[in-house]
Amino acid sequence: MKIQVYSKEDQAYGAFNGGEIIENKPVGFPREGGKLKPYSNMFYWANAIAKVDSTIGLHPHKGFEIMSFVLAGKIKHFDTKLNSWIELSEGDVQIIRAGNGISHSEFMEEGSRMFQIWLDPDLQKSLSQEASYDDYHKSDFPITKDDSSEVSTLIGEGSPLKLETKNVVTQRIKIFSSPYSLKIKEDKIVGVYILAGNFEIDGNRVKTDEFLLIEDSDNVQFVGEGEIFVFATPKKPSYKTYRETMS
């Protein structure tokens, strides 16, 4: 088993509107620093928190698949395809398949929190496709619950969210009692964000806002209680990623 732990201080940092929205980024843009660089088809991962009501102005995207996972509060999203504002609440998800180009704007209510995650779906293909957008509500996602955990599958079996990017599985997991066993498929590399709580994993002690990158394991034991966000991607995508092209 190979586990790399990235503290909040190891991650990249960003801010909008003079610090109205702040971000720690397990995977920042290459120019932003941070110890972990893009891997697999994972290009960018930011944890954004609104200190006050704040709007990020209209800006363009191309090629990437961009997902916003609302972790707390409310956000609103505007894009030039739908030409209207859509409100999303805790547990909801929006996806932009940026394709050949789309512009959007985001509003975050004070106290809101979201993950924004960018995937590389094979830009050689996606840049020639028409942009599209979908939003999903918390009730759309399957939940399994037992005495030890509650697992919401956001991407994967039973989820309505469909990606151009292949072989991705995403879950939000509340752990009530331990040890909790996280099953990992052999062909996956797994990013885990500690949303809340403290855990011991294979001798590593991890806490809220730390990020784990896990490879070469089929079963990881989480000892402790709290909440984690799991994002599994292929060890080796079947195409040359943007990161590899630019390296």
Determine the Cα–Cα distance for residues 2 and 213; give it in Å rounded to an integer.
8
Residue-range domains of the chain with CATH: 10-140 (2.60.120.10), 143-234 (2.60.120.10)
Q: What is the pTM of this model?
A: 0.95
Model pLDDT for residues 15-67, shown as the tens digit of each residue? 999 999 999 999 998 888 899 999 999 999 999 999 999 999 999 999 999 99
How many residues make up the chain in this entry? Answer: 247
pLDDT level of residue 189 (50, 70, 90 thresholds): very high
224-237 pLDDT per residue, tens: 999 999 999 999 99
Give the strands of the sheet with 42-50, arranged side by side: 12-16, 21-27, 42-50, 113-119, 65-72, 93-97, 132-136
Rounded average pLDDT over 109-128:
97
| Beta-bridge partners for 14 | 23
> What average pLDDT does the chain have?
94
Give the H/E segment covering residue 30: none
Q: What was the pLDDT predicted at 219? A: 87
Query: Which ranges in 51-108 belong to alpha helices (H)?
Result: none
C-alpha 200 chain-centroid distance:
22
